[in-house]
């Protein structure tokens, strides 16, 4: 049965492809192209909360992405079944939502958000670095590294991962000339933004920054909420198992932040689950509750007449949203700001900074020409680039593609005297 929700505008690809007999829908093809790439598989060794490889049961970027995809599909199916605005032949495509969820962290570098901050600082004079912008770069230009090309996404899929729609230079201008910390796309990606909206300009009230970034397709809104659900619940469960969230720490944090720990409250339920050793089941029930705390409402804007993807808003129950914010604040204050994690973040940043300086000296300033430190294909591409900013972007691509473990191995191979052999792989 044809789904009237989507039109040829939504399924158009960045580059026209020749007709072929394929049993899959355009959005199933998008999902499959992401799923079978090295970039997706590398997520298994990239930090979610704790460094990958610490213990088998801690979530990595890969398991996080799979969980987000499952939650996203379930939200989509729930809306299709319960919303009076949708029907059997007019529904949100769950394959498209799954593709967006699987892809949402593709561009994140080693060592989690700390690595993202480090690379953004190192690229401060060359357009910055942002995990979501890097995801866009991979999907459009770099995901198939063997032939240095993107996956030729559909318009709806590319739009579904565009959490941020403000250029780096626009945010820099708004910030009084200071390089932005996050929530931007690269200036050279303006063409993809134009293509997503078919050359239409943003509404005048959607200025650079939050007003513009809040303008998301319904699939992007679902992906964003699914990511929040996985982050504030599943990552919290990891923090309990790792010993970072204890009864004492939660009670102390609740008192400092005037949050209830009474029976039936969010923190009260968490404390009870810890005492009974039932944290995972408690979080599982919460996931079900969170994904059903959504509904749709119609929206009328400058794109709603062009695509149904902009004709609807995702409405999240206010109490559930507030509860999720409590869990996120708890995780940030007690876990992410802990001395243990900050020490590891410092170490990750230190390794990235040392590698960046060495490789910049060698490949941008031509110091130590006799040493071949990068794989030949990457070195050749950097050498062929004309502008310094282009060379830095390619070098940043390389470092961002590394996993936690491959970054550590490369660092030790280059800087630790008694480590490494001729058989080591990056």
Largest CA distance in the chain: 68
Q: Which helix (H) or strand (E) holds 11?
A: helix 8-11
What pLDDT sits at residue 6?
Answer: 98
- Give the DSSP letter string of 330-393: HIIIIIITSHHHHHHHHHHHHHHHHHHHHHHHHHTS--STT---S-HHHHHHHHH--SHHHHHH
| pLDDT, tens digit, 9 for 90 and up, residues 310-337 | 999 999 999 999 999 999 999 889 888 8
Q: Quick one: how far is CA 287 from the chain centroid?
A: 20
pLDDT higher at 50 or 211: 211
**Homologous superfamily of 8-213 in CATH?**
Hypothetical protein af1432 (1.10.3210.10)
What residue segments make up the domains of the chain, in order of their start?
8-213, 218-339, 342-415
| pLDDT, tens digit, 9 for 90 and up, residues 367-422 | 767 789 999 999 999 999 999 999 999 999 999 999 999 999 999 999 998 777 66
Distance CA 190, CA 199 (A): 11
Mean pLDDT of 207-224: 94
pLDDT > 70: what percent of the chain? 95
Local confidence band at 358 (pLDDT 50, 70, 90 cut-offs): very high
Quickly tell me which residue has 């999902």 as its tokens. Answer: 31
In the predicted model, is pLDDT for residue 64 greater than 80?
Answer: yes
Q: Is 209 left (phi over 0), alpha (psi -120 to 50) or beta?
A: left
What pLDDT sits at residue 146?
Answer: 58
Q: Which residues contact 320 (CB under 8 A, 6 or more apart)?
A: 289, 290, 293
What pLDDT sits at residue 418?
Answer: 79
pTM for the complete prediction? Answer: 0.94
What pLDDT sits at residue 48?
Answer: 66
Mean pLDDT of 342-361: 93
Say if residues 315 and 294 touch (Cβ distance below 8 Å): yes
- Give the DSSP letter string of 139-169: IIIISBTTTTB----BHHHHHHT-S---BHH
CA-closest candidate to residue 348, choices 421, 400, 398, 417: 400
Q: What is the mean pLDDT of the chain?
A: 92
Distance CA 156, CA 223 (A): 13
Local confidence band at 52 (pLDDT 50, 70, 90 cut-offs): low
Query: What is the token pair recorded at 229?
Result: 């659900």
In the predicted model, is pLDDT for residue 307 greater than 70?
Answer: yes
- Taken in order 73, 43, 10, 227, the sign of the CA dihedral is positive
Mean pLDDT of 42-62: 71
Give CA angle at 105 (101, 392), nearest 5°: 145
With H, G, I as helix, E, B as strand and everything else as coil, classify residue 130.
coil
**Which residues make beta-bridge pairs with 312?**
298
With H, G, I as helix, E, B as strand and everything else as coil, classify residue 60.
strand
């Amino acid at each position: 049965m044809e789904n009237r929700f989507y039109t040829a505008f939504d399924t158009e690809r960045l580059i026209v492809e020749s007709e072929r007999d394929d049993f899959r829908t355009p959005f199933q093809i998008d999902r499959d192209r992401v799923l079978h790439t090295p970039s997706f598989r590398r997520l298994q060794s990239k930090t979610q909360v704790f460094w990958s490889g610490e213990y088998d049961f801690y979530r990595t970027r890969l398991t996080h992405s799979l969980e987000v995809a499952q939650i996203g599909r379930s939200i989509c199916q729930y809306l299709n079944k319960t919303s009076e605005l949708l029907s059997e032949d007019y529904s949100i495509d769950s394959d498209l939502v799954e593709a967006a969820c699987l892809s949402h962290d593709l561009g994140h570098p080693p060592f989690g958000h700390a690595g993202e901050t480090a690379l953004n600082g190192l690229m401060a004079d060359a357009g910055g670095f942002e995990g979501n912008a890097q995801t866009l770069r991979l999907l459009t230009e770099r995901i198939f590294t063997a032939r240095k090309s993107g996956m030729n996404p559909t318009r709806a899929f590319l739009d579904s991962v565009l959490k941020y729609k403000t250029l780096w230079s626009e945010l820099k201008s708004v910030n009084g000339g200071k390089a932005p910390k996050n929530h931007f796309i690269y200036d050279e990606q303006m063409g993809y933004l134009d293509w997503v909206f078919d050359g239409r300009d943003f509404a005048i009230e959607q200025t650079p920054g939050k007003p513009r970034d809040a303008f998301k397709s319904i699939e992007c809104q679902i992906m964003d909420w699914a990511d929040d659900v996985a982050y504030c619940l599943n990552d919290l469960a990891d923090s309990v198992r790792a010993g970072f969230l204890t009864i004492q720490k939660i009670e102390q944090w609740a008192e400092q932040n005037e949050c209830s720990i009474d029976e039936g409250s969010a923190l009260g339920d968490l404390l009870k689950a810890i005492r009974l050793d039932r944290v995972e089941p408690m979080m599982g029930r919460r996931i079900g509750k969170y994904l059903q705390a959504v509904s749709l409402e119609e929206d009328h804007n400058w794109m709603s007449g062009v695509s149904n993807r902009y004709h609807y808003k995702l409405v999240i129950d206010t109490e559930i949203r507030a509860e999720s914010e409590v869990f996120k604040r708890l995780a940030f204050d007690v876990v992410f700001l802990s001395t243990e994690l900050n020490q590891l973040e410092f170490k990750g940043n230190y390794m990235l900074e040392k590698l960046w300086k060495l490789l910049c000296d060698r490949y941008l300033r031509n110091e130590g020409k006799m040493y071949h430190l990068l794989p030949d294909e990457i070195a050749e591409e950097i050498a062929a680039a004309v502008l310094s900013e282009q060379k830095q972007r390619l070098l940043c691509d390389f470092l961002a593609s590394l996993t936690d473990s491959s970054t550590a191995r490369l660092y030790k191979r280059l800087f630790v005297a008694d480590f490494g052999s001729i058989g080591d792989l990056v």
